[in-house]
Amino acid sequence: MIDSELKKLVYVYLVRYAEEQQDLALLSISTFQRALKDPNQLIRASALRVLSSIRVPIIVPIMMLAIKEAATDLSPYVRKTAAHAIQKLYSLDPDQKEHLIEVIEKLLKDKSTLVAGSVVMAFEEVCPDRIDLIHKNYRKLCNLLVDVEEWGQVVIIHMLTRYARTQFVSPWREDAVFDENSEKAFYDSEEERRVDQSKPYIMDPDHRLLLRNTKPLLQSRNTAVVMAVSQLYWHLAPKHELSIITKSLVRLLRSHREVQYIVLQNIATMSIQRKGMFEPFMKSFYVRSTDATHIKTLKVKTLSYLHVSFLLTYVKSQDKAFAAATIQAIGCCATNISEVTDTCLNGLVLLLSNRDETVVAESVVVIKKLLQTQPSQHSDIIKHMAKLFDNITVPMARASILWLMGEYCEHVPKIAPDVLRKMAKTFTDEEDIVKLQIVNLAAKLYLTNSKQTKLLTQYILNLGKYDQNYDIRDRTRFIRQLIVPNEKSGALSKYARRILMAPKPAPVLQSAFKDRDRFQLGTLSHTLNSQASGYLELSDWPAVAPDQSVRNVEVVEPVRLPCIYLRLVLNCFCVHVESVSESESKENSDDSNKSSSSQSEKSSSESDSEKKKKTLKNKKLQQQKPDSKDRQKRIRSTCLRIMQHNYSLNYYLPPQIIQKTLNIMTKYILIHIVLSISTPFFVNCMCSLLHLCVFLACQFDAVSWPVHVSLQASSPVFVPETSHELLHRMTGKGLSAQYRFTRQPCIYGNSMVSLQLTLSNSTDQALENIHISEKSSTGQNIHRFNAIERLEPQASVTVSMGVDFNDSTQAANFQLCTKEDEFSVSIQPAVGELLLPITMSEADFTKEQGKLVGMNESSATITMMPENVSSQSVNRKVVSVANLGVIPSGQENIYRFAGKTVSSGSLVLVSVALKDPDAVITINTEKTVMGSMLLRQVKTAVQGM
């Protein structure tokens, strides 16, 4: 134990300094290679992590070999580390891409939730364009998504978003028909696909599967997961289903300001396209005094798409930047919503009398842009701004007023010359931006009202000619040559009025989030409004959906032995046993006769002492056992020889079944038979096992068939009588349904959970043809009960069914139908109902528990009252929560329970150790997610005693 901990510390040190001290790291490579074979999975993973952290190109082949071996490791934690190492190796040597893709393809088939997120991250880094690698694993990833760790969920969701945009057609059509349980594609032939525009849209079942399986993640505690699901729905879901993400996004606004900033940016982008999406939650966007300035600004921009009246109240804020952003938001409202343009403009005019220069200046700038849309109707506003001109000191605001005076000087012919007179007095003291607008105003008044402004214009042009700023000097000389014709002026002076007084298009006040919808929501590129390095664009929806059969995974069904094979096996077995028994009886009789005659002949010559010596020698020979390797070879050859005697069996059975039978016979005999192979009785045993082994070969895969000597299935210790509501009578129009878990092995399949359904008819009319729709598709394999032809009024019937939950607590959704109606129902399993009880000895329990440590072990400590603790109460509480078997324990205050998962058969071990006044609950299993969920339930049950 101390050695393992020391190794971990050394590995942590090397990970930190491997790149800085490469020579030191290179000297330890041989140690890492040995550590890759260590029995402890944490040591193997740490060795691979350090090896992949050494940034030296010379060891790339060693790293590549280590990653390939780790990808096939029995521990999912090591395989997860191998997926992380893929990215490091690719960054070190991109030429290894093809070899790494092979490893990624293998890891994508991994069924462990611990590996899924890491391998998808490696896929996104190495080969994000290889969509073909996802086809066969798409449905598996969708079903595993709810059990994957949180950061893995984010990566998988973003990848599946891009995948869906390439494989499904757009659901944003007006003639869309959304059937959540449709499994059949709408178009069946190439001719029908050509006329797809005349057909209504029906959502692909795989498209619906992705939306259905990501919807529960909106309740995740991780804000990144919620944001990832929200962007998936925004880019993939039908428009009428987007409302389900609003509550989750609004909930995130209670988080830290960093989270609020990202969420508000995405909400602002959504609000531009769908203005009424967040209207029911308008109060959540009210600005608080404790909000940071950038949060206030984003909230105001969001409110500008929801309501205008609230914005004017924020102009009085002491935060100058926030007040300016509010005025800009009001301008956006006036531009985008024509109904409130006059209201916004009047409110901005009132702000011109504000004491705050920043508010006045920003109001002037916004009013200037608004007046360009309707200049003739707002001459009074221009006059009012001219009166306030002397009190405005902000250069941008003064420049904006001068520009308005010059642009619409014909609408204010009496005021504009007077403003120019005032500007001529203060020209030398003004800012550069104001001087430029003074020159422009003088030029425009010279062209429209030269009698009053000719001398003022010449005076201003003379001042500008000698200004210190070269931009102002150049502008002054250009204007002089343009408006004052002389001998040197060309033909351009004829068009001076057209040039200076040309109508100018009104500016569009649009939000900074207007063009951000070109980026995928929730990405760094969307936050920065600029394409970041490594950004992968979402493709457009395909016009015609690609072939959906590429996602069909070939399910390798166990080979079932036909009846003719069973009869042949039994016949061959009987015939062979009879022939063997007859030949053995003859051999035994001959041997006895020969031995008796030989013994009679030698009896006279042998003495009693010699007989005793021979007897002792024979006993010693019988006690000697052959070598284990030699015994295995001899057993396998004997099995092969016995199988070769059955010519008819070899003729009818496929070769692969014969090979599996041979493997199972050898394995079974090596474990269970301890007899010598030379005895005739052993050969008889071999023959009698033949038909059993052939049957096993046809039922299971010999390579993955586990032979547990001491693990035996047992009956459930406790069967709950509690029923759960499947369908309420009001929802089911009189039909009600309840289900309960029987905790018995399912007769419909070894990987299925057995369920009992009770259907009741509370109406006064009979219900006909009650059944489960065949269109139901949730990713789980469901064995449906036989259709009930007729259920009389006020009658009930109990049926059984099986569901393969695939060791996941994800609900099984299906359609419960009658002759006239269909009802969507779901069965939500508890993690304890996904187990089957087993029995074993205490020594085997300890041995198996020692194998499942580290990442496969989870524990918790609780405090209990001593007077409530007893063996019966502890056992009762644990077995009521989970379908586990009770293991006899020779130690006081330690209670052990064992079971296996129904689908995969993974071992689940539970122990409760009472240490006054605490109790330590430990769960060991390869299914880490199930282990943590089961720990919480057992902890709650035991603590409530």
Q: What is the 3-state secondary structure (H, E, C) of 272-304?
A: HHCCCCCHHHHHHHCCCCCCCHHHHHHHHHHHC
Please give the torsion angle defined by the CA atoms of residues 821, 822, 827 and 828, in that order, rounded to the nearest 10 degrees. -110
Helices (H) and strands (E) in the chain, counts: 37, 18
Rounded-to-integer distance, Cα 401 and Cα 381, Å = 11
Which residues, in sequence order, are bridge partners of residue 190? none
Residue with tokens 């580290």: 854
Rounded-to-integer distance, Cα 427 and Cα 438, Å = 8
Characterize the bridge pairing of strands 201-202 and 176-177: parallel
Q: Per-residue pLDDT for 550 more than 60?
A: yes
Q: Per-residue pLDDT for 519 more than 80?
A: yes
Tens of pLDDT, residue by residue over 125-149, are 999 999 999 999 999 999 999 999 9
Would you place residue 123 in the very low, low, confident or very high pLDDT band (cuts 50, 70, 90)?
very high
Would you place residue 745 in the very low, low, confident or very high pLDDT band (cuts 50, 70, 90)?
confident
Query: Which position has the higher pLDDT, 574 or 718?
Result: 718
Q: Per-residue pLDDT for 105 more than 90?
A: yes
Q: 212: how many CB neighbours lie within 10 A of its CB?
A: 18
* Backbone φ and ψ of 177, nearest 5°: -120, 125
Contacts of 782 (CB under 8 A, 6+ apart): 772, 776, 801, 802, 803, 804, 812, 814
Would you place residue 685 in the very low, low, confident or very high pLDDT band (cuts 50, 70, 90)?
very low
Residue 864 pLDDT:
74
Residue 561 pLDDT:
40
SS3 743: strand
Tell which residue, 5, 36, 114, has the closest CA to residue 855.
114
Residue 345 pLDDT:
72
Residue 683 pLDDT:
43
DSSP string, 134-202: HHTTHHHHHHHGGGS-HHHHHHHHHHHHHHHHHHS--S--TTEE--TT--S-S--SHHHHHTGGGS-EE
Query: Which position has the higher pLDDT, 337 or 120?
Result: 120
Q: Find the mean pLDDT for residues 237-266.
A: 88
Tell which residue, 880, 881, 898, has the closest CA to residue 889.
898
Contact 381, 371 (CB under 8 A): yes
Residue 12 pLDDT:
72
Rounded-to-integer distance, Cα 934 and Cα 906, Å = 14
Tens of pLDDT, residue by residue over 633-650, are 665 565 555 554 443 344
Q: 335: how many CB neighbours lie within 10 A of its CB?
A: 20
Residue 760 pLDDT:
92
* Backbone φ and ψ of 371, nearest 5°: -65, -20
Contact 928, 856 (CB under 8 A): yes
**From residue 884, how far is each of 492, 839, 881 by CA, in Å?**
97, 9, 9
Rounded-to-integer distance, Cα 618 and Cα 613, Å = 9
Residue with tokens 């140690």: 31
Would you place residue 116 in the very low, low, confident or very high pLDDT band (cuts 50, 70, 90)?
very high
Of the spans 130-139, 394-403, 510-519, which averages the highest pLDDT?
130-139
Residue 154 pLDDT:
94
Rounded-to-integer distance, Cα 100 and Cα 89, Å = 9
Residue with tokens 């068009």: 495
Residue 305 pLDDT:
66
Rounded-to-integer distance, Cα 571 and Cα 552, Å = 41
Q: Per-residue pLDDT for 765 more than 80?
A: yes
In this structure, of 8-22, 153-167, 732-746, the range with the lowest mean pLDDT score is 8-22
pLDDT cut 70: percent of the chain above it:
71
Residue 224 pLDDT:
93
Three state DSSP letters for 50-99: HHHHCCCHHHHHHHHHHHHHHCCCCCHHHHHHHHHHHHHHHHHCHHHHHH
In this structure, of 361-375, 748-762, 925-939, the range with the lowest mean pLDDT score is 361-375
What tokens does 18 get?
Answer: 């491997």
Q: Find the mean pLDDT for residues 432-444.
A: 91
DSSP string, 405-418: HHHTTTTSTTHHHH
Identify whether 128 is preceded by a cis peptide bond (ω within 30 of 0).
Answer: no
Q: Find the mean pLDDT for residues 506-535.
A: 75
Mean pLDDT of the chain: 77
Q: Find the mean pLDDT for residues 61-88.
A: 92
In this structure, of 58-62, 589-593, 609-613, the range with the lowest mean pLDDT score is 589-593
Q: Per-residue pLDDT for 562 more than 50?
A: no
Of the spans 172-181, 670-679, 921-930, which averages the highest pLDDT?
921-930
Rounded-to-integer distance, Cα 886 and Cα 714, Å = 10
Q: Per-residue pLDDT for 373 more than 70?
A: no
Tens of pLDDT, residue by residue over 880-923, are 999 999 988 888 788 899 999 998 888 999 999 887 778 889 99
Tell which residue, 169, 159, 114, 115, has the closest CA to residue 138.
159
User: End-to-end CA distance of the chain, in Å?
Assistant: 36
Q: Find the mean pLDDT for residues 61-73.
A: 91
Q: Is 54 left (phi over 0), alpha (psi -120 to 50) or beta?
A: beta
Residue 117 pLDDT:
93
Which residues, in sequence order, are bridge partners of residue 898? 885, 909
Tell which residue, 430, 429, 461, has the closest CA to residue 443.
461
Helix, strand, coil shares, percent, the chain, to 5: 60, 10, 30
What tokens does 653 get?
Answer: 């059975």
For residue 520, the Cα-to-chain-centroid distance in whole angstroms is 17
SS3 4: helix
pLDDT cut 90: percent of the chain above it:
20
Contact 833, 753 (CB under 8 A): yes
Q: Amino acid identity of 155?
A: V
Residue 496 pLDDT:
80
- DSSP structural state of residue 865: -
Rounded-to-integer distance, Cα 152 and Cα 762, Å = 47
In this structure, of 419-423, 666-670, 804-808, 894-898, the range with the lowest mean pLDDT score is 666-670
Rounded-to-integer distance, Cα 254 and Cα 673, Å = 67
Q: Per-residue pLDDT for 102 more than 60?
A: yes
Tell which residue, 51, 226, 77, 221, has the closest CA to residue 854.
77
Would you place residue 557 in the very low, low, confident or very high pLDDT band (cuts 50, 70, 90)?
very low
Q: Per-residue pLDDT for 563 more than 50?
A: no
Residue 435 pLDDT:
92
Rounded-to-integer distance, Cα 939 and Cα 922, Å = 10
For residue 645, the Cα-to-chain-centroid distance in whole angstroms is 55
Residue 882 pLDDT:
92
Tens of pLDDT, residue by residue over 201-243, are 788 889 999 999 999 999 999 999 999 999 999 999 988 888 8
In this structure, of 161-170, 172-181, 459-468, 512-521, the range with the lowest mean pLDDT score is 172-181
Q: Per-residue pLDDT for 802 more than 60?
A: yes
Rounded-to-integer distance, Cα 762 and Cα 759, Å = 10
Q: Per-residue pLDDT for 932 more than 90?
A: no
Q: Per-residue pLDDT for 937 more than 50?
A: yes
Contact 637, 678 (CB under 8 A): no
Q: Per-residue pLDDT for 346 more than 80?
A: no
What tokens does 571 get?
Answer: 């016949």
Characterize the bridge pairing of strands 857-863 and 724-727: unpaired
Residue with tokens 């997961």: 225
Name the helix (H) or strand (E) containing 814.
strand 812-817
Residue 515 pLDDT:
66
DSSP string, 364-406: HHHHHHHHTTSSTT-HHHHHHHHHTGGG---HHHHHHHHHHHH
Query: Which position has the higher pLDDT, 621 or 519?
Result: 519
Tell which residue, 853, 780, 777, 832, has the closest CA to residue 810.
780
Query: Which position has the higher pLDDT, 110 or 591?
Result: 110
Residue with tokens 């299971």: 700
